[in-house]
């Protein structure tokens, strides 16, 4: 096993000993650790306080960029859909993980598996239904506005 993944697992173990969930993450670029994180749900009222997201947030603050192209995430457990999306948005290029979704589920941490399954359904049929409501006549459209602003910026 890779040393970076070993580090992520060590972070997860330390976190459990401190009362947290068994998740640690290490973000790496060109063989160097850029940032680390552990699941902080036991110390903060912040549902986004997942190991991977905190590592991403720290790296972006430190480097003053949203672009983490070329980085690799080492996560002690299979990332949840929120962290997976954040890694995609940030440009993280690969993820190595150890514990599977099934293993997490077997110890009572099964929400990620439920959400991944739910994402296979149509938006309005999900456990958390997403319902589209269209703009009413005369309302300004933020998407079109953004496109107009962007065109102006390109001139």
> Shortest approach of Zn ion to residue 137 CB, angstroms?
40
Active site residue 52: yes
Cβ-proximal residues to 67 (8 Å cutoff; 6+ apart), any chain = 90, 91
**Listed ranges 47-55, 69-77, 91-99, 129-137: which one lies at the site for Zn ion (CB under 5 A):** 47-55
Q: Which residue in 28, 38, 56, 80 binds Zn ion (CB under 5 A)?
A: 80
**Listed ranges 29-37, 43-51, 65-73, 94-102: which one lies at the site for Zn ion (CB under 5 A):** 43-51
**What is the C-alpha separation between 43 and 35, in angstroms, rounded?**
19
> Shortest approach of Zn ion to residue 83 CB, angstroms?
3
**What is the C-alpha separation between 29 and 3, in angstroms, rounded?**
14
Q: Does the footprint of Zn ion cover residue 86 (CB under 5 A)?
A: no
Binding footprint of Zn ion, residue count (CB under 5 A)? 4
Q: Does the footprint of Zn ion cover residue 50 (CB under 5 A)?
A: yes
**What is the C-alpha separation between 93 and 71, in angstroms, rounded?**
6
Query: Coil, strand, or helix at residue 96?
Result: strand
Q: What secondary structure letter does DSSP report for 135?
A: P
Structural tokens at position 113: 């598996």
Q: Which of 52, 134, 140, 148 is catalytic?
A: 52
Q: 100 vs 78, 84, 90, 109, CA distance in Å?
A: 5, 14, 23, 11
Is the Cβ of residue 4 or residue 23 nearer to Zn ion in the bound state?
23
> Shortest approach of Zn ion to residue 117 CB, angstroms?
16
Q: Which residue in 11, 25, 68, 83 binds Zn ion (CB under 5 A)?
A: 83
Q: Can you name the residues that pair with 35 across neighbouring β-strands?
A: 27
**Listed ranges 50-58, 63-71, 103-111, 132-140: which one lies at the site for Zn ion (CB under 5 A):** 50-58
Where in the sequence numbering do the catalytic residues fall?
Answer: 52
């Amino acid at each position: 096993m890779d040393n970076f993944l070993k580090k992520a697992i060590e972070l997860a173990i330390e976190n459990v000993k401190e009362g947290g969930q068994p998740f640690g993450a290490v973000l790496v670029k060109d063989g160097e650790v850029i940032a680390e994180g552990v699941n902080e749900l036991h110390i903060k009222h912040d549902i986004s306080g997942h190991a991977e997201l905190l590592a991403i947030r720290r790296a972006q603050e430190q480097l003053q960029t949203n672009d983490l192209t070329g980085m690799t995430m080492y996560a002690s457990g299979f990332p949840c859909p929120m962290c997976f999306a954040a890694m995609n948005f940030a440009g993280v290029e690969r993820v190595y993980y150890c514990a599977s979704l099934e293993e997490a589920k077997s110890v009572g941490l099964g929400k990620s598996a439920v959400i991944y399954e739910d994402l296979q359904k149509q938006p309005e049929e999900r456990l958390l239904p997403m319902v589209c409501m269209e703009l009413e006549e005369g309302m300004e459209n933020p998407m079109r506005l953004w496109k107009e602003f962007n065109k102006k910026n390109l001139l």
